[in-house]
Amino acid sequence: MALTSETKLKLFRGMLRIRRVQERIESEYMKDEMKTPVHLYIGQEAIATAVCACLRDDDAINSNHRSHGHYLAKGGDLKAMMAELFCKSTGCSGGYGGSMHLVDVAHGNMGTSAIVGGGIPIGTGQGLAFQMQRLDRVSAVFFGDGAADEGTLYESVNFAMLKKLPVVYVLENNGWAVCSPTATRHCADNVFHKGADPELLFTAKLDGNDPEAVLEAAQKAVARARAGQGPSFIECVTYRILGHAGCWQQDPKGYRDPEEIKAWQERCPVCAYQRKLLAEGVLSTEVLAGLEADIAAEIDAAFEFARQSPLPTADDLHNHLFCE
Ligand SMILES: Cc1ncc(C[n+]2csc(CCOP(=O)(O)OP(=O)(O)O)c2C)c(N)n1
């Protein structure tokens, strides 16, 4: 079905907002005010934006260490995210977590974890809980190609197929797990693309830099999950344009071919979608300028809020501890 201009603009705005937030974090990171490692999502914006566009507030997501895009796309508050990166008490995790532990239960973001692959069984359990409560809610799980190396993915997908769970597995294959390329770790296409019975598992492998392609597959997967027809596995092929963690200067040089980075920069999902929408007449330069100004103002306000917010107190150290 053809997308409306409104849907296209919504996708574009979501992607642009995530990109500009990431760029501001990157440019300010060396000031050392953000006392947290950061794993930037630049280059992957189309995936979180398009998948979350198919979800309701009461649907759940689980994500990983590279979670800023998922958090924002699922409706997370930018001020609370920036305060978390500044480790302030007003942060979305009260300043206890930092960038890798964003959470926003009100919008169904059940949490993010630094344990690679850790969100996959948790998101699967979330799907089981929705099914047992007879709710038509969906659990989407975002993870990288490194996490797809972990055995927990295969256990989880098997269980979800067995129980027909409402889970959408979203593999963001960005080419690298730290300094290790996907091609040296995966023998071929992911096994789920080969021979999985489509009745039990809907699978798709697509261009993760194309928000409309991601949206189309995600809509199908979410509708299937909501109808009680079981899980889906969507592999989005994309690229991590910046380094694994931190800002550009902190990425060790030499492990990636600069030509590879350049080729993917030229395929930037935000620029490509902007060009497409301008050419289609869906976006105008005036509307674009307005979007940029609104987003810049929102980011300024969020950084200001984070800087002005109080640090947790010494007494807060005793909260959230488990002891027998
Ligand atoms: C269980 C576990 N093993 C190893 C690590 C160290 N580690 C952190 S991120 C990462 C790479 C993850 O790659 P991928 O899943 O492809 O996500 P990406 O960083 O590319 O987004 C590794 C190995 C970890 N945090 N947890």
CA 170-174-175 angle, to 5 degrees, is 130
CA distance 162 to 157: 8
State which of 68, 99, 178 you would mutate to test the pocket of ligand 1, scoring each by most atoms of that ligand within 8 A of its C-beta. Answer: 178
* Dist. CA 244 → ligand 1 center (Å): 9
CA 211-212-217 angle, to 5 degrees, is 100
With a 6 A CB cut-off, is 41 part of the ligand 1 pocket? no
CA distance 206 to 154: 20
State which of 68, 116, 120, 244 you would mutate to test the pocket of ligand 1, scoring each by most atoms of that ligand within 8 A of its C-beta. Answer: 116
Give the atom of ligand 1 at the shortest distance from the alpha carbon of 245: 19
* pLDDT value of position 186: 86
pLDDT tens for residues 245-295? Answer: 999 888 898 999 999 999 999 999 999 999 999 999 999 999 999 999 999
pLDDT at 302 > cutoff 80: yes
With a 6 A CB cut-off, is 239 part of the ligand 1 pocket? no
With a 6 A CB cut-off, is 116 part of the ligand 1 pocket? yes
* pLDDT value of position 319: 87
* Dist. CA 181 → ligand 1 center (Å): 12
* pLDDT value of position 142: 98
Which run of H or E residues covers position 60?
Answer: strand 60-63
* Dist. CA 170 → ligand 1 center (Å): 16
CA distance 45 to 67: 11
pLDDT tens for residues 63-119? Answer: 999 999 999 999 999 999 999 999 999 999 999 999 999 999 999 999 898 999 999
CA 306-309-311 angle, to 5 degrees, is 110
* Dist. CA 142 → ligand 1 center (Å): 13
* Dist. CA 263 → ligand 1 center (Å): 24
SS3 14: helix
Confidence bin at 318 (pLDDT 50/70/90): confident
The protein residue with its alpha carbon nearest to ligand 1, atom 7, reads 116
Nearest alpha carbon to residue 235 among 178, 196, 284: 196
For residue 97, count CB atoms less than 10 angstroms from its CB and return exposed for 0-12, middle for 13-18, buried for 19 or more: buried
* pLDDT value of position 324: 74
pLDDT at 1 > cutoff 80: no
pLDDT at 147 > cutoff 80: yes
With a 6 A CB cut-off, is 114 part of the ligand 1 pocket? yes
Give the atom of ligand 1 at the shortest distance from the alpha carbon of 118: 1
b (16+ CB within 10 A) / e for 27-37: eebeeeebebe
- Mention the CATH class of domain 5-309: alpha beta
* Dist. CA 110 → ligand 1 center (Å): 19
* pLDDT value of position 194: 81
pLDDT at 190 > cutoff 90: no
Tell me how crowded residue 319 is: count the other CB atoms within 10 A of its CB: 9
CA distance 251 to 253: 6
Confidence bin at 317 (pLDDT 50/70/90): confident
CA distance 292 to 315: 41
CA distance 74 to 55: 8
Token pair for 309: 């917010």
The protein residue with its alpha carbon nearest to ligand 1, atom 8, reads 116
Confidence bin at 137 (pLDDT 50/70/90): very high
* pLDDT value of position 241: 95
With a 6 A CB cut-off, is 192 part of the ligand 1 pocket? no
The arithmetic mean of pLDDT across residues 303-311, rounded, is 98
pLDDT tens for residues 212-242? Answer: 999 999 999 999 999 999 999 999 999 999 9
pLDDT at 18 > cutoff 80: yes
* Dist. CA 249 → ligand 1 center (Å): 20
Q: Lowest mean pLDDT: which of 53-62, 240-249, 292-301?
A: 240-249
With a 6 A CB cut-off, is 191 part of the ligand 1 pocket? no
pLDDT at 192 > cutoff 90: no
- The answer to whether the Cα torsion of 250, 255, 259, 265 is positive or negative is negative
* pLDDT value of position 6: 97
CA distance 82 to 114: 18
Domain boundaries, the chain: 5-309
CA distance 15 to 13: 5
* Dist. CA 158 → ligand 1 center (Å): 22
pLDDT tens for residues 19-54? Answer: 999 999 999 999 999 999 999 999 999 999 999 999
The arithmetic mean of pLDDT across residues 198-206, rounded, is 96
